[in-house]
Amino acid sequence: MTASIISGKEVAASLRNEMKQEVNELKDLITPGLAVILVGDNPASRSYVKGKEKASAEVGIHSELTEMPADISEHSLLTKVEEYNQNPAIHGILVQLPLPDHISEKKVIEQISPEKDVDGFHPINIGRMMTGQDAFLPCTPFGILQMLKYKNIETEGKHAVVIGRSNIVGKPIGQLLLNENATVTYCHSRTNDLQNYTLQADIIIAATGKAEFITKDHVKEGAVVIDVGMNRKEDGKLCGDVAFEEVQEKASYLTPVPGGVGPMTITMLLYNTLQSAKAFIK
């Protein structure tokens, strides 16, 4: 079998197009506003933030960036977040992670109003997601669900194996797939005999952070394989957590890196910001 490629670029473009129209239809009522706070000078963070600004502009979302030096105090950052909590032109607040060591990420995330937490990282939104209530869903897992839906990939009754247990990807994607009636197994770096689990999977979510770690020997014929990885090889090329060429020979669907899950993350951030703005319309 040769896998069909799920292009995140294509799914993202389709969703962004729909959002652009909706933003335009709402223009007399509200302009969605996204505030991004970048602390320090991490080049990867800066490049993500640039991508967010560009994508916001594309769909007509107002975005503003606050840059703060790496030695800013935790108090100053919390104050800035609070300003945005109170700002009626802002409906989504994103503090780019990671933060410098002297600042508590937990405190900063909890400072963001849950009604503007478009990353879906606030414990209130995580609790809402866990209990199946309306919530801002974390953007990468939410984007993965949209890719599965776009291709009409059935999740009900399927065995999904998630490899990775981060708060941002692994844990929430398992929960979302469970909400979609999949049977979910979590594996991680300490799992013994990983293949024993992955070979039973109808859907594999690879979020290990290890370049090309998932090979054809981990994959059952016909499985759907979603690659959340973003790694750089020694030759400088980007690659995922999945050995793309060989897994493509066995999977039914496979996401590429780059151009797979990546473009969906920003798209769902815009989606969450738009939903938030709509909830603020009086």
- CA 204 – CA 195 distance, rounded (Å): 11
CB-wise, 119 or 202, nearer to ligand GUN? Answer: 119
Find the shortest distance in angstroms from Cβ 110 to ligand GUN: 14
Find the shortest distance in angstroms from Cβ 139 to ligand GUN: 5
- CA 43 – CA 45 distance, rounded (Å): 5
Q: Which of 203, 221, 219 is nearest to 149 (CA)?
A: 203
Chain contacts with ligand GUN (rule: CB under 6 A): 94-97, 119, 139, 265
CB-wise, 54 or 151, nearer to ligand GUN? Answer: 54
In this structure, the number of other CB atoms found within 10 A of the CB of residue 143 comes to: 28
Give backbone dihedrals phi and psi of 161, rounded to 5 degrees, phi first.
-110, 120
What is the full DSSP assignment across 107-141? HHHHHS-GGG-TT--SHHHHHHHHTT-S-PPPHHH
Marked catalytic residue, from 80, 96, 171, 248: 96
Annotated binding-site residue? 166: yes
Marked catalytic residue, from 80, 111, 117, 119: 119
CB-wise, 252 or 265, nearer to ligand GUN? Answer: 265
In this structure, the number of other CB atoms found within 10 A of the CB of residue 199 comes to: 15
Find the shortest distance in angstroms from Cβ 265 to ligand GUN: 6
β pairing state of 203-206 and 224-227: parallel
CB-wise, 107 or 159, nearer to ligand GUN? Answer: 107
What is the full DSSP assignment across 261-276? HHHHHHHHHHHHHHHH
- CA 157 – CA 139 distance, rounded (Å): 24
Marked catalytic residue, from 52, 80, 116, 250: 52
Residue with tokens 């776009």: 150
Find the shortest distance in angstroms from Cβ 75 to ligand GUN: 20
Dihedral of alpha carbons 223, 221, 240, 208, sign: positive
CB-wise, 8 or 253, nearer to ligand GUN? Answer: 8
119 is catalytic: yes
Find the shortest distance in angstroms from Cβ 135 to ligand GUN: 16
- CA 93 – CA 15 distance, rounded (Å): 21
Q: CB neighbours of 128 closer than 8 A, spacing ≥ 6?
A: 134, 135
Residue nearest to ligand GUN (CB): 97
Binding residues for NADP(+): 164-166
User: Residues with catalytic annotation?
Assistant: 52, 96, 119
